[in-house]
Chain A
């Protein structure tokens, strides 16, 4: 009778399944020598593996999941081995969240792996749940510099090797230079500071009045001198801050940058200060350098090629700066004789810049939000 019973059970056609079989979703983002990971594992799978439903009532609560976080992290991360080259990259998983997927709630494990050096080849060995569920699959999404590769781990193919398309030195120079250009253009405060200093460069003070410079060359040298002073100054502090020799609080730096723009704008109204623009460019350039440094550290710097990225970024800043000067100088030179330039552009423009920067100064110093930008 046992035989007959066993027979009938499996006879009907296969049912339409309630769910897909078990999957976990693993996202790894490679960044130099670090990997940021997110791993979504079904609570039902974790319950089968390590037992989440402590009170056995068939309902898994957040309290039950939260109190087993360490076990979940230890269980999962012991079944995922990431090696860079030949060396194992240990993981830290301080955070755990929850997400709802189409087939139920998942624990979301957020972790960081640190490898000893920049990752060139990445070997992933995935063994989660295979001992309990032979049809389990791990769906991997590997991201590096915006490029995404996907892979599926199964019991039959639990390991995969990836070549992290190594950023060549030239690529790295390009990348950081691009960031530098982008930053000077998008960071309106730097542009306005520079413009405020350059506005009087096509004029000169003769007997208490503004007069156009007689020739292009003298305007050009004036601009060059100001830009060079600014560049030397911000390069010094950018380097010093990036190397970690001096660290200033970001709020202070940002406020000081805004103040420098206010000062530069207003100083155009005081001829005595106008004569000292190179000194102003240098002194405040030191502060702007700290601002650049915070951008650079946000981008994340490769330990191996710090100097290269620093120089490339700075180079990008200069290129961006030169582009602005190249647009400004011919235009200003052409207009310098007009009343519009001498009165409207110089005075109103400088005041406008000072007003805008004052708003920034208040925003940054008091941590308020006044302007849409």
Chain B
């Protein structure tokens, strides 16, 4: 009788029994003590950024029609999303701009911000469409040209990227245009001259810390790609000493250390950065190399996060997932599928590298063909990529 009653109970509370484990990560619980901390916010109410956001929100509430305030608030939120690595702020920025974006012809300043939000969500073609609209209205909008160049570069469309950098020579500071061009040139066969130009830009008086961070990061990655590890190390450390928190920089430096087998340093660098998926991935790679038991827990944690990301139907982590699948799950075939899907969206050196590594591990020579052709066509300069390419049988002859 009890058994049948249990059956009835299961039917009435079917959601508990039937919901998939990915949707409910565990059994919900009733905390026992009021003092138990459930969640730590990345920003405290007293932090300057939080106060700035709060003040802007308040003034927007007083004057909901004020687009300048909305644009300032959205800009601050996008900036916050970058330094915290938290995409929630992007959605919040978009919501702040919604009254103007819902308009049939949104003002250019709001379209520009939406382009950046879409860029961060890896919706590159939608972002480019927004930028086209902005540049139609304001052909002299430097930020729009720069963002366009940046998206083209990620997509591997180097000629179009170069053309988007050109107008910056007259619209923005010369060092901005040179950095824009230098970044692309460094990828496509002119690393030596680019490094000279970019190094010279650093000496310009009056460049901001963020600009310095930008240039130093490009220089560091460029030096790493050409195998100049000493220069790369110096640039990375200089960039870090600027005191501007940037998830991209930390990730790039961790990759550099991983490539050099300096895994213990990666653990030291990232041990408190477990919230960011991309950084946790690199930490776990280092832990695996050091045979630390915690790498198993972190691998499971990452698998759960990727699964949760898939549930919502939008995927921005395909590159990270490919790397995770290859290096931590050791499933080259699945990694190759992910790397190929990722290659359709973006074509940075790391995207090429993951596809080549997965294809090598899976023994699928043909799968690598589009990437190898692409690398040849664009004269991509990258020591690691070249080392991978020569391992393919057809490239050895």
Q: Which residues, 39 to 55 on B, are CB-close (under 8 Å) to A?
A: 39-41, 43-46
In the bound complex, residues from chain A placing their C-beta under 8 Å from that of B348 are 13
List the count of A-B residue pairs having beta carbons below 8 Å apart.
Answer: 277
The answer to whether the Cβ of B277 comes within 8 Å of any Cβ in the partner chain is yes
Bound form: Cα–Cα A44–B313 in Å: 21
Cβ B301 vs Cβ A19 within 8 A: no
Contact of A7 with B146 in the complex, beta carbons under 8 Å: yes
Tell me which residues across on chain B come within 8 A of A66, comparing CB atoms: 31, 34
Chain A residues with CB under 8 A of B29: 97-99
Contact B87 A12 (CB under 8 A): no
User: Quick one: which of B25, B88, B211, B314 contacts A8, CB cutoff 8 A?
Assistant: B211
> Which secondary structure dominates chain B's binding surface?
helix
Binds B, one of A20-28, A79-87, A206-214: A20-28
A23 to B14, CA, bound (A): 22
- How far is it, in angstroms, between the C-alpha of A299 and the C-alpha of B26 when the chains are bound? 27
**Cβ B39 vs Cβ A43 within 8 A:** yes
Q: Which of A17, A23, A37, A53 has the most CB of B within 10 A?
A: A17
Contact residues of A between 143 and 186, Cβ < 8 Å to B? 143, 146, 148, 152, 182-183, 186
Interface: B86 (CB within 8 A)? yes
Measured between beta carbons, the chain A residues less than 8 angstroms from B20 are: 141
CB-nearest residue of chain B relative to A45? B88
Given contacts A9-B82, A29-B14, A186-B4, contact A15 B246 (CB under 8 A): yes
Q: Is the CB of A133 within 8 A of B95?
A: yes
Instruction: Evaluate contact between A19 and B277: CB separation under 8 angstroms.
Output: yes
Q: Which of A100-108, A232-240, A266-274, A344-352 contacts B (4 or more CB under 8 A)?
A: A100-108
Q: How many residues of B contact A (CB 8 A)?
A: 99
Residues 286-318 of B at the A interface (beta carbon under 8 Å): 301, 304-305, 307-309, 311-314, 316-317
Contact B39 A20 (CB under 8 A): no
Known contacts: A4-B211, A11-B150, A56-B45. The answer to whether A132 contacts B95 by CB under 8 A is yes
* Also in contact, A17 and B278, with CB within 8 A (given A8-B214, A44-B41, A98-B29): yes
Q: How many A residues face the partner with a CB closer than 8 A?
A: 82
Measured CB to CB, the nearest residue on chain A to B86 is: A18
B241 at the interface (CB under 8 A from A): no
Which residues of A5-57 have CB atoms within 8 Å of chain B's CB atoms? Answer: 5-23, 25, 27-29, 31, 36-38, 40, 43-45, 47-48, 53, 56-57
Q: Which of B15, B45, B275 has a CB less than 8 Å from the CB of A141?
A: B15
**A318 at interface (Cβ–Cβ under 8 A)?**
no
Shortest CB-to-CB span from A373 to chain B, Å, is 9
A25 CB contacts on chain B under 8 angstroms: 23-24
Binds A, one of B114-122, B129-137, B189-197, B362-370: B114-122
In contact, A295 and B14 (Cβ under 8 angstroms)? no
User: Contact partner of A12 among B9, B121, B246, CB < 8 A?
Assistant: B246
B275 touching A36, Cβ below 8 Å: no
* Bound-state Cα–Cα, A131 to B190, Å: 47
Residue B147 CB within 8 A of the other chain: yes
Q: Which of B1, B36, B348 has the most CB of A within 10 A?
A: B1
Q: List 9 extra interface pairs beyond A23-B308, A48-B88, A254-B1, CB under 8 A.
A: A4-B176, A7-B142, A8-B210, A11-B179, A16-B248, A60-B41, A99-B25, A187-B1, A300-B11
- Pull 20 A–B residue pairs with CB atoms less than 8 Å apart, ordered by A: A4-B173, A8-B176, A10-B147, A13-B348, A14-B120, A15-B85, A19-B86, A19-B275, A38-B19, A43-B39, A47-B41, A53-B41, A62-B34, A97-B29, A99-B27, A102-B305, A133-B92, A135-B91, A295-B1, A295-B4
Please give the residue numbers on chain B whose beta carbons come within 8 Å of chain A beta carbons, in ascending order. 1, 3-5, 7-9, 11-16, 18-20, 23-31, 33-41, 43-46, 75, 78-79, 82, 84-88, 90-92, 94-95, 98, 116, 119-122, 142-143, 146-147, 150, 154, 172-173, 176, 179, 208, 210-211, 213-214, 217, 246-249, 251, 275-279, 281, 301, 304-305, 307-309, 311-314, 316-317, 320, 348
